[in-house]
Structure 1
Amino acid sequence: MSEQTIQLIVFFGITALIAFATYLKCVGHSRSGDSNKEYFLASGGLSWVFVAGSITLTNLSTDQLIGMNGNQMALLAWWEFAAVIGLFILAKVFLPVYYKHNCTTTTELLEKRYGDKNIRAVIAALFLFGNIFIFLPSVLYGGSLFMKSLFNTDLPLITLATFFGIIGACYAVFGGLRAVAVSDTYSGILLIGMGLLIVYLAVAAINFDFSGIPVERLTLIGDDDSPLPWHVLLTGMIFIQTFYWGTNQTITQRAMAAPNVKEAQKGVFAAAAIRLLIVPPMIVIPGIVSYKLYGDIGDAAYGTLAGDILPVWLSGAFAAAIAAAVLTTFNSILNSSAALYCCDIHEKYINKDVNVGKLNAIITGIFVIIALALVPVYATADSIINLVQELFGLLSMPILSTFIVGLLFKDVDARAAITAVIFGTLLYAFFVFVWAPFHYIHMMCITLFSCVGMALLVNRIIFGNKISMAHNATA
C-alpha cells in the first residue's frame, strides 16, 4: 500500500468519523418555535463546552497555523495573548447586553440602542461584505492550496475548494449552528492534539536546543522595526481584539447560543484559557524551529516541518485536522452570514414572515457560489488579497465606534453614527494610502476615537441632541 493511499484512508476515515459523531449528537433535538433561534442560535442549547470549542476552532484555521508560523518569530504570540483580553471583554461587557436584549445578531443590539433599523442593516451589510468577498474565498483558497501540496495531488485547486464548499454548506444548512458548533468542538480536539504533537516533535527535532536562532526571532518585546512594536499593545491592539471578539457575528454567535449568560461566560472563559495556554505555542514554536532547520522560508515553514517530522499515517490525521479547521471556519462564517442577511436585511426590508430554513439554504448556496468564483482570483493575484484585507481593515474601527457610542451614550441619532462610519473609513484610508505617521495599529486607535468624537459632534450640531452618558448600558 502506497504512502499516499495510507494518507487518504486515514484522512477520509477521520473526516467521516467527525461527521458521524456530529450527526449522533445533533439528531433528535427538538425544533424551536423560533426558526431564527433554531438555525442561528441552536435554540439556546449550546453548553459551555461547545461554546468554547466552537469559538476556538472558528478562529483557529490555516491562516493562523500557516500564516503566523510563517513569520517564524515568537512576537506573533501577542495576538493570542491580547485575544484573551478581548474574550474577557466579550464575557463581561457584551454578553450581558446581548442576552438582556435577546439578540440573534450582534447588529440587532444597534437597532435597539439607537431605535433605528437602518443602522442595523448598514453595519450588517459591512460585515457581509467582508465575509462574502474576503474571508469565505480566502479560507477556501488557503485550505485547498495546503491540501494540494500535502497530498501532492494534480487535482485542480477549484475542485478541492468545491469539496470544502459543499461539505461546509451541508453543515450550515442541514444542521444550523448546532451542527456547526458540535463539529467545531470535535474537530478542535483533533486539531489541538495534532498541533501540540507537532510542537513536541518540532522541539525534539532540534534536541530542545534553540541556540543559534537570532534573538529577534525569540523575543516578545518588539522594537519599532518589528511587525508588532511593544507600544502598539497599549493602544489599538485592545480595540482590534474588542472588535473581533465582541462584535463579530461569526465569533459572538456561539456565545449567544447558550441557555443563559452564565453558561455562555463559562464557555468564553474556557476559550480564553485555551487561547492563553495552548494556542500560542502552536502558532509560533514550529515556525521558530523551522527557521533553525531550513532558514527563512516564510509560509512554507509549517507544512514543510510537519511533512518532515510526522510519520505517514499521522500525516493523514494531520490533513484531517487541517481540513476540519478549514471546514469549521468556513461553515461558521457561512452560518453567521446567513444570520446577518436573514435577520437584519431580508426580514426587515423584504419579507418578515419568511421560511427561514428555505431562505437559509438559498442564501448559503449563493454565498458558496460567490466564494468559489473568487478562488481563482485569489490564486493568481496576491496583491488583490492584500488590498482587500486592507480595505476590510478600514471598516473595523468605524464599526466598533457604533457599538461604543450606542452603549455609552443616549439619545444619539443613528444617522450621526452612520456619518461617523463614513468619516472613519475615509480617515483610515487617508492614513493607509496617503500619510502614515505611525504604526497602523496606532492609527486604528486614532480612527476609533475620531469616529466616536464625530458621531457625538454631528449628533449635537446637526441633529440638536444633547450629549449625555447612558446610566446603564444594559438598560
Structure 2
Amino acid sequence: MPSSTIQVSVFVFVTALIGFLTYLSCRGQNRNASNQNREYFLAGGGLAWYFVAGSITLTNLSTDQLVGMNGNQMALLALWEFSAVVGLFVLAKVFLPVYYRFKCTTTTQLLEQRYHNKHIRAVISTLFFLGSALIFCPAVIYSGALFMQSMFNVELPIMYISVIFIIVGALYAIFGGLRAVAVSDTYSGVLLLTMAVVVVILALQAIDFNFDGIPAERLTLIGDDESPIPWHTLLTGMIFIQMFYWGTNQVITQRAMAAPSLKEAQKGVFAAAGIRLLIVPSIIVIPGIVSYKLFGDVGDSAYGRIVAELLPDWLSGIFAAAMAAAVLTTFNSNLNSATALYVCDIHEAYVNKVPNVPVLSGFVTVVLCLVSLALIPVYQQAESIINLIQELYGLLSMPILSVFVVGLLFKNVNANAAIGAVIFGVALYASMAFKFSPLYAPFGLHYIHLMFVTLIACVSFALIVNRVVYKQKAEFSLAINADDEATA
C-alpha cells in the first residue's frame, strides 16, 4: 500500500474515532431548555475536572503553539509555558472563586456586577470578540494549514486547506456547543500529548542526544536584550500577560466555569497546570531546536518538517489526526467563546433579551469563519506566528486587564473612567509598540516591558479620572469578599 494511502487511511480512521467517542460521551446528557445560555455555553455546568483540564490544555495547545514556538527554534520559548503555570494558579485561586460567587456565564459579567454598568461589559466583550475574530481564529487556522502542508509535502494551497478546517470547525461549534468541544478536546488532547512526546523522543534520537553545533543562544533559558524573551521581562509584563490570558480570557475560563462546582473547576485547572509544567515545555521547543541542527534556520516550517522526516507513515497519519483535532478544537473553542460574548453581553443587552441561542450562535459563527478566511493571507506574511500574535494581542490585553484589576480591587469607580482607560491604553501601547510611531520602543524597552507600562498607566488613568472628572473616591474592596454584591 502506498505510504500516502496509509497516512490518509489512518488519519481518517482516527479522526472519525474521536468524533464517535465524543458523540458517545455527549449523547443522553440532560438538556436545560429553560436556560439555553448555560447549556450551550457552559455545558449545563456538567464538565468533570478531567474534561476541564483536557479542554483548557488543548484549547491553548494547538498548531499556533507547536508550529509557532518550535518555529523560533530556541529553548527560550519554554518560558511562556513555565510562567503560564503561575497564570493557571491565579485563575484557580483568585479569579474562579469570584466568577463562581457571581454566577458568571462570561468573564465580563463580573465587570457589570462590580461597576454596576452594562456598557463596560459590552465594551470589553467587543474587544475580546475582536481578538478572537481578528487574531486567534485566523492564526490557528493558518498555522494548522501550514503544518499539514509541510508534513504531507502537498502542493495544495494554504487557502484550500484552511477552508476545510473552517467548515468542519464551524459545524462542530454550531451543532455541539461547549459540551462537545470540551469532550473532544480531552480525547484529542490525550492523543496529541502522547504523539508530541513521541516526536520529542524521536527528535532526540535523530541527533543521538547531542546538541553540539547548535548556537548557545538557542539552548539557553536566560535571554539577552536581543532575544525574543529577555530575562528581565519575566519580572514585569510576563506575569501580567499570563494573568490576563488564563484569568480573564473567555476562551480559557469558560471551560473552568462549566464545572458543577468551584472545587471541581479548581481540580481541573490544577491538573492543566501540571500538564503545562511537566509536558508542554519540552514539546514546544525540543523539536524546533533539533530541526535547526538537521535543517538549519527554517522558521515556522520546522515542526512540520521534523515530523514528516522522523515519523513512520502509520504514525504520521495518527499525528496528523491529532493535530487536525487540535486545530479544530482550538478554532471552535474560540468560535464558541466569541459567540457567547456576543449573545450574552451584546445581543441580549441591546437587541433581544430572549433570542433563539442556537440559531443566533450559528449566524455569528458563520460571520467569524468568513473573517478568519479573509485574514489568512495576512498571517502568511508574518515572520513568526507566535511573536505576531503576542504583539497584536498586546493592544488589548493590558487595557482589558486593567479594567479587571480595578474592578477586583476597588468599588465606587465610574465605569466611564475604566472605559476611558481602555481607550487610552490601546492608543498608548500602539504608540510604543509599532514601528510607524514616532514613540516606538521608548528607551529601547521590549514589548513585554511595554505591556507592564501600559497596565500601570491604565490603572492610574482610571483612578485619576474617577477622582478628578467624576469626583468619586475609589474604595479598596476585594471582589472575592463582596458577598453583598453577588447576585443569583
Which deviates more, 354-363 or 154-163?
A: 154-163
Tell me what 1:17 maps to.
17
CA distance in structure 2 between the partners assigned to 1:306 and 1:356 by the alignment: 41
CA distance in structure 2 between the partners assigned to 1:213 and 1:148 by the alignment: 27
Task: Give the partner amino acid of 1:458.
Answer: V
CA distance in structure 2 between the partners assigned to 1:157 and 1:66 by the alignment: 15
Q: Does residue 1:442 correspond to 2:443, yes or no? A: no
Tell me what 1:319 maps to.
320
Tell me what 1:279 maps to.
280
CA distance in structure 2 between the partners assigned to 1:236 and 1:376 by the alignment: 30
Within-5 A mapping of 1:348-367: 348-367=349-368
Q: Secondary structure at the match of 2:284?
A: helix
Tell me what 1:406 maps to.
407
Instruction: Compute the displacement of 1:152 (Å).
Output: 3.1
Which deviates more, 167-176 or 409-418?
A: 167-176
Q: Conserved in 2, the CA contact under 8 Å of 1:25 and 1:182?
A: yes
Instruction: Compute the displacement of 1:472 (Å).
Output: 4.7
Q: Conserved in 2, the CA contact under 8 Å of 1:408 and 1:469?
A: yes
CA RMSD of aligned residues (A): 1.6
CA distance in structure 2 between the partners assigned to 1:25 and 1:471 by the alignment: 39
Cα separation, partners in 2 of 1:405 and 1:23, compared to 1, 3 Å: same
Q: Deviations over 1:5-40 (max 9, x none)?
A: 111001111011000100000011111131000000
Within-5 A mapping of 1:326-365: 326-365=327-366
TM-score computed with the length of structure 1 as normaliser = 0.97
Instruction: Compute the displacement of 1:471 (Å).
Output: 4.8
Instruction: Compute the displacement of 1:156 (Å).
Output: 3.6
Cα separation, partners in 2 of 1:266 and 1:400, compared to 1, 3 Å: same
Q: Does residue 1:86 correspond to 2:93, yes or no? A: no
Cα separation, partners in 2 of 1:389 and 1:71, compared to 1, 3 Å: closer
Instruction: Compute the displacement of 1:303 (Å).
Output: 1.4
TM-score computed with the length of structure 2 as normaliser = 0.94
Q: Does residue 1:152 correspond to 2:153, yes or no? A: yes
Instruction: Compute the displacement of 1:180 (Å).
Output: 0.2
Match 2:477 to one of 462, 470, 475: 470
Determine what percentage of the aligned residue pairs are the same residue: 65
Within-5 A mapping of 1:131-142: 131-142=132-143
Instruction: Compute the displacement of 1:46 (Å).
Output: 0.3
Cα separation, partners in 2 of 1:238 and 1:225, compared to 1, 3 Å: same
Instruction: Compute the displacement of 1:162 (Å).
Output: 2.0
Instruction: Compute the displacement of 1:194 (Å).
Output: 0.5
Which deviates more, 157-166 or 396-405?
A: 157-166
Which deviates more, 149-158 or 139-148?
A: 149-158
Q: Conserved in 2, the CA contact under 8 Å of 1:286 and 1:305?
A: yes
Task: Give the partner amino acid of 1:180.
Answer: V
Q: Count residues in correspondence.
A: 474
Tell me what 1:238 maps to.
239
Task: Give the partner amino acid of 2:72.
Answer: N
Tell me what 1:109 maps to.
110
Q: Conserved in 1, the CA contact under 8 Å of 2:399 and 2:454?
A: yes
Q: Deviations over 1:315-339 (max 9, x none)?
A: 1111111111100110100000110
Q: Conserved in 1, the CA contact under 8 Å of 2:124 and 2:400?
A: yes
Which deviates more, 251-260 or 160-169?
A: 160-169
Q: Secondary structure at the match of 1:106?
A: coil
Which deviates more, 439-448 or 140-149?
A: 140-149
Q: Secondary structure at the match of 1:210?
A: coil
Tell me what 1:382 maps to.
382
Instruction: Compute the displacement of 1:377 (Å).
Output: 4.4
Q: Secondary structure at the match of 2:179?
A: helix
Task: Give the partner amino acid of 1:457.
Answer: I
CA distance in structure 2 between the partners assigned to 1:168 and 1:313 by the alignment: 25
CA distance in structure 2 between the partners assigned to 1:334 and 1:45 by the alignment: 20
Cα separation, partners in 2 of 1:161 and 1:451, compared to 1, 3 Å: same
Q: Secondary structure at the match of 2:285?
A: helix
Tell me what 1:259 maps to.
260
Tell me what 1:97 maps to.
98
Q: Conserved in 2, the CA contact under 8 Å of 1:402 and 1:417?
A: yes
Which runs of 5 or more residues in structure 2 are unaligned?
483-488
Instruction: Compute the displacement of 1:288 (Å).
Output: 1.3
Which deviates more, 286-295 or 48-57?
A: 286-295
Tell me what 2:306 maps to.
305
Cα separation, partners in 2 of 1:273 and 1:8, compared to 1, 3 Å: same
Within-5 A mapping of 1:34-73: 34-73=35-74
Q: Secondary structure at the match of 2:97?
A: helix
Tell me what 2:204 maps to.
203
Instruction: Compute the displacement of 1:206 (Å).
Output: 1.2
Task: Give the partner amino acid of 1:369.
Answer: L
CA distance in structure 2 between the partners assigned to 1:292 and 1:149 by the alignment: 18
Cα separation, partners in 2 of 1:471 and 1:68, compared to 1, 3 Å: closer
Q: Conserved in 1, the CA contact under 8 Å of 2:102 and 2:110?
A: yes
CA distance in structure 2 between the partners assigned to 1:213 and 1:384 by the alignment: 20
Q: Conserved in 2, the CA contact under 8 Å of 1:100 and 1:474?
A: no
Q: Does residue 1:30 correspond to 2:36, yes or no? A: no
Q: Deviations over 1:359-401 (max 9, x none)?
A: 112211221122223334444x438988786443211100000
Q: Deviations over 1:136-193 (max 9, x none)?
A: 1222222122212323334343332222112112221111100000000000011101
Cα separation, partners in 2 of 1:440 and 1:455, compared to 1, 3 Å: same
Q: Secondary structure at the match of 1:382?
A: coil
Q: Secondary structure at the match of 2:202?
A: helix
CA distance in structure 2 between the partners assigned to 1:314 and 1:359 by the alignment: 40
The runs of at least 4 consecutive aligned structure 1 residues that moved more than 4 Å come to 383-389
Match 1:461 to one of 460, 463, 468: 468
